[in-house]
């Protein structure tokens, strides 16, 4: 591990001067194989595959400067005329719900999202317990290192895998992921992957606007709020 960190530090001494840029990622996924006989499960998997298919057409944008980043998803098309409205709505949130702001100086992360028709600013810190491995690969012209962590945003315990490049020495990534010693160019969880499609670096400062106008809440409290709502919905269903 110490040897890997030293290599990264050496790369950082010769990194690109630009710490401002706009990165666009592309979404890919692996389809389910051999659908189960259970109709409910089969329908759920079909919806998941359709959501992922819609998601491949969205634009996943990360803007960053030396101190801040801002991530959002642009819909590929209007919802009118979509065959499966539920799958299309879900397609935008496969990796994350809402927009993400990160600040490397304060270690602050804000996720602006809507829940039960209310706008929330979910506050967290840029803190992932990354384990940097010896695996290396190139994404475009950038030399990337592999890092893994437990996926704290997943419903089940899953491994989160990212590839970051110390050649762009900012600790940001798409969908709210960050804290690596270099820009994250690829992130994978479950069957889904966001991978760098193109990037434009600049010496000029890119202005990042911090999200506002929402109910400020911590991640833990927001998760409890979501869980309470799910329990409430299940009780209402069982009573009918």
What is the structure's pLDDT at 6? 47
* Burial (CB count <10 Å: 0-12, 13-18, 19+), residue 186: buried
Task: Please give the residue that has the higher pLDDT: either 84 or 168.
Answer: 168
Q: What is the pLDDT of residues 204-216, one digit of tens each?
A: 999 999 998 899 9
Reported as a pLDDT band with limits 50, 70 and 90, residue 157 is low
Q: How far is residue 145's CA from residue 40's CA, in Å, rounded to a whole number?
A: 40
Which tens digits make up the pLDDT trace of 29-49?
A: 988 766 666 677 777 778 788
pLDDT digits (tens, 9 = 90+) for 92-149: 778 777 899 999 999 899 999 988 888 999 998 877 789 999 999 999 999 999 999 8
Cα 212 to Cα 101: distance, rounded to the nearest angstrom: 10
DSSP 129: -
Instruction: Region of 133 please: left (phi>0), alpha (psi -120 to 50) or beta.
Output: beta
Q: State the Cα–Cα distance between residues 216 and 121, nearest whole angstrom.
A: 5
3-state helix, strand, coil in the chain (%, to 5): 25, 40, 40
**Cα–Cα distance between 129 and 192 in angstroms, integer?**
21
Position with higher pLDDT, 22 vs 227: 22
The two three-digit tokens of residue 14, written as one number = 């010769």
Confidence of residue 186 (pLDDT cuts 50, 70, 90): very high
Quick one: pLDDT at residue 99? 92
CA distance 229 to 226: 5
In whole angstroms, give the CA distance from residue 106 to residue 166. Answer: 21
Q: Which residues are 144's β-sheet partners? A: 137
Mean pLDDT score of the chain: 83
Q: Which residues pair with 147 in a beta bridge?
A: 132, 162
């Amino acid at each position: 591990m110490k040897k890997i960190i030293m290599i990264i530090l050496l790369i950082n001494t010769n990194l690109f001067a630009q710490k401002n840029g706009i990165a666009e990622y592309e979404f890919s996924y692996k389809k389910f194989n051999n659908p189960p006989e259970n109709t409910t499960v089969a329908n759920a998997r079909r919806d998941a595959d359709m959501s992922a298919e819609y998601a491949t057409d969205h634009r996943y944008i990360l803007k960053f400067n030396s101190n801040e980043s801002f991530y959002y998803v642009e819909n590929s098309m209007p919802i009118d005329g979509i065959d499966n409205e539920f799958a299309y709505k879900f397609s935008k949130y496969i990796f994350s719900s809402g927009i993400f702001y990160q600040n490397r100086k304060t270690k602050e992360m804000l996720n602006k999202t809507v829940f039960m028709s209310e706008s929330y600013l979910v506050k967290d810190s840029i803190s992932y317990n990354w384990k940097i491995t010896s695996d290396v690969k190139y994404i475009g012209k950038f030399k990337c290192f592999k890092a893994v962590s437990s996926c704290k945003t997943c419903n089940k315990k899953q491994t989160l895998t990212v590839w970051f490049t110390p050649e762009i020495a900012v600790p940001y990534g798409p969908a709210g992921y960050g804290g690596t010693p270099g820009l994250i160019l690829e992130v994978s969880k479950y069957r889904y992957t966001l991978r760098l499609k193109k990037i434009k670096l600049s010496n000029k400062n890119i202005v990042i606007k911090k999200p506002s106008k929402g109910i400020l809440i911590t991640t833990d409290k927001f998760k409890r709020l979501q869980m309470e709502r799910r329990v409430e919905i299940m009780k209402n269903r069982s009573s009918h």
